[in-house]
Amino acid sequence: MIALLYPVPGETGGELVNTDRIRSLVIGGGPKSASFVSDKLGGDIKLAILVGTAGALAEGLSLGDIVACNKYFLYDGRCISAHLAPYSLVCRVLEAGGTKFQIGASVTILKFHQEVNVDAIIVDGEDFYVAEVLHQKGIPLAVVRIVSDLEQEKISVDQLMQERVPACGVILREKFVVPFLRSMGNSNVTLY
């Protein structure tokens, strides 16, 4: 079974879709997302894919750009590399749909606009924490993010959550989640 994980800050977590091949969960946001994942994912999960929004750190990234993450940094420099199997699956689904995407590392931070000094192209609040928990459980992880804000914008958390995240979520569902579910034989599921 494959787990699709949706980090949504402010949410406590819950199941969205449960078929014989896909388990879809809202995991909350930030470090708490890792405890939810730890509690909810067990031995029946063969791989997990985290799908969400991120802030751009690298020049050249634009709003709406999709990133397949090959490494997950924590703000202090610790790093976990993506597992090849789920990472390759994510790239194949994006390529098959003709979706342009970037490959690069994410860095997980604790607070909005936190300074970091690692070689990452996007910033998020969950990737490293979730990757660490899944690594301990022996569950490979891949991460697909869509750029919802740019470093130089300095927008507020409220503006990000109310305006950008919902719009980016629609694009990401269209460009990755729906094609992924179809590739797995699940074309009739209701999505978040």
Q: Where are the domains of the chain?
A: 2-183
Q: Distance between CA 120 and CA 15 in Å, rounded?
A: 30
Which is more confident, 80 or 26? Answer: 80
For residue 167, is pLDDT > 70? no
Amino acid 114: pLDDT: 63
Burial class (CB in 10 A: 0-12, 13-18, 19+), 161: middle
Tokens at residue 1, please? 């079974």
Residue among 170, 117, 118, 178 at smallest CA distance from 148: 170
pTM comes to 0.84
Amino acid 188: pLDDT: 47
Was domain 2-183 assigned CATH 3.40.50.1580? yes
Give the three-state DSSP class for 129. helix
Model pLDDT for residues 130-165, shown as the tens digit of each residue = 999 999 999 999 999 988 877 766 666 666 666 666
Model pLDDT for residues 87-110, shown as the tens digit of each residue = 888 998 999 888 899 999 999 987
Q: Distance between CA 103 and CA 175 in Å, rounded?
A: 16
Amino acid 82: pLDDT: 92
Model pLDDT for residues 110-136, shown as the tens digit of each residue = 766 667 778 899 989 899 999 999 999
Which is more confident, 90 or 41? Answer: 90
Amino acid 191: pLDDT: 42
Lowest mean pLDDT among 19-28, 78-87, 97-106: 19-28
In this prediction, residue 1 has a pLDDT band, given cuts at 50, 70 and 90, of confident
